[in-house]
Amino acid sequence: MSQRPLPYALFAVLLAAQACLAQSASAGGSSVETLYGEAKAAQARGDTATAIARYQEILRAAPGLGAAYNNLGALYFAQRQYRQAAAVLERGLKVDPAMPSAVALLGISLFQMGDYEPAKARLETVLRANPADATARMYLVKALIKLNDFESASAQLHQLAKTQPANQEVWYLLAKVYMKLSEQAMARINSIDPHSVLAHQLSAEMMEAMNNYDGAVVELTKAVELAPRQAGSHYKLGDAYWSMSQWDQAAAQFRAELDIDPRNCMAQEKLGNILLQKNGGEAEALADANKALAMCPGLTEARVDRARALIALNRNAEAVADLEAAVKADPSDSRTHFLLAKAYRAAGRMKEAQTEMQTFSKLEQSAREATAERAREVIRNKESAH
């Protein structure tokens, strides 16, 4: 079975080992030079066994030639014979500790063998000498993850992200590390008090992330029962009800929140939004949106709600300013472009209305294509699982 090619970055380390021995071969005498030439020739024709044998002969002839250990270790490493590589490299570093390529190869070999703690130590040594060694840093990250040291792994990944912002593996690992840190934080919260308000709220947020709003309501109800006068608790429960279109239950919670915290502009906005969702009470919804924007002028949702109320009250020209501000704040929201097109049309601004409808159509088409692609991906994953 053919072996996978080595990652490109590792070739720099291997080449450094090759160059090191090439410079040192003459120091061992003509026999070492001859053996080195034969080893190189064997490597060139793919005769690994002969190359290894020649390097071993070099070491018997010149056991103090550190570069020879380095080169033999590199050859074992290239063949993915990591245990042999590590043994040879360890011996070489005892002869000559000042071989950075040997330290790097040893650290990576130890990682591949599952010896993560010693691998970590070696790779940290490499980075102290050469902080720009991205390959050593990536393997250090992987060793830290194996050792469950996610905070240190996160710090190393942030360093890599600065120099390799387009490296998907960096961001993939960072996402995994964040998930692990989140799990650890939640476990810590539960170990302190699994029945606290914060524990229930965090559990609810995780359920909401999975669209399990029924479960979220259960957890948030417990949080409200534990601290009925704590600011924010009623809003969170109301928002879960709102996500399930249970308007009356949501409105009751938002009103309870405003009784505790009259400055909660999001609860005020949601009360107006519920009236619009129920297709009635536009004047009252407009008043709620105005109150929310008086407290939080940058609340885009309230601007959209105010515009919807104004359109329903046939005050289209007044709605335009809010919708233009909402489009500027979030150009990707197709709903806002549709409402702006409607307001423009009612105001007689037909060209602008047409432009907004075209934008709306493009965004909707992109959304449909993205949904279709996700569905195809699910099917592909199911097929590959079988």
Query: Is position 231 within any domain?
Result: no
Same domain, 105 and 20: yes
pLDDT at 43: 80
Total count of domains within the chain:
3
Looking at residue 49, which CATH number applies to its domain? Answer: 1.25.40.10
Backbone angles phi, psi at 46, to 5 degrees: 80, 15
For the CA atoms of 130, 134, 136, 137, the dihedral, rounded to the nearest 10 degrees, stands at 100
Q: What's the confidence (pLDDT) of residue 385? A: 57
**Same domain as 15, residue 81:** yes
DSSP string covering 282-333, please? HHHHHHHHHHHHHH-TT-HHHHHHHHHHHHHTT-HHHHHHHHHHHHHH-TT-
Q: Are residues 135 and 106 in the same domain?
A: no
The DSSP element (H or E) to which 129 belongs, if any, is helix 116-129
Cα–chain center distance at 80:
30
d(CA 190, CA 226): 16
The answer on 320 and 381 residing in a single domain is yes
pLDDT attached to residue 272? 97
Q: Which domain, by its residues, includes 145?
A: 131-192
Asked if 251 and 238 touch (Cβ cutoff 8 Å), the reply is yes
Residue after which a domain boundary falls, among 79, 113, 147: 113
Q: Are residues 34 and 64 in the same domain?
A: yes
**81 and 153 housed in the same domain:** no
Instruction: Tell me if 283 is assigned to some domain.
Output: no
Is residue 90 located within the same domain as residue 180? Answer: no
- Report d(CA 219, CA 239) in Å as an integer: 13
What pLDDT is stored for residue 27 in this prediction? 45
- Would 222 be classed as within a structural domain? no
How high is the mean pLDDT in each 10-residue block of the chain (386 residues)?
43 47 48 83 85 88 83 89 95 90 94 96 96 96 97 97 95 95 91 93 91 95 95 96 96 98 97 93 96 96 96 94 95 95 94 96 93 83 64
In a domain, 288, yes or no: no
Q: 245 — alpha (psi -120 to 50), left (phi > 0) or beta?
A: left
Supply the pTM of this predicted model: 0.65
Q: Take residue 271 and report the two structure tokens written for it.
A: 């009360």
The domain boundary, picked from 47, 82, 113, lies at: 113
> Do both 108 and 135 map to the same domain?
no
CB atoms within 10 A of CB 216: 27
Measure the N-to-C terminal CA separation of the chain; round to a whole number of Å. Answer: 24
Residue 332 shares a structural domain with residue 370: yes
pLDDT of residue 203: 92
Give a yes or no: residue 121 inside a domain.
Answer: no
The pLDDT of residue 386: 56
In-domain check, residue 253: no
Q: For residue 137, is it within any domain?
A: yes
Are 103 and 64 found together in one domain? yes
H/E run at residue 173: helix 168-192
Residues 175 and 75 in one domain: no
Considering the domain architecture, whether residues 49 and 4 belong to the same structural domain is answered as yes
Encoding tokens for residue 124? 């940290």
310 within domain boundaries: yes
**Given this model, what pLDDT does residue 30 score?**
55
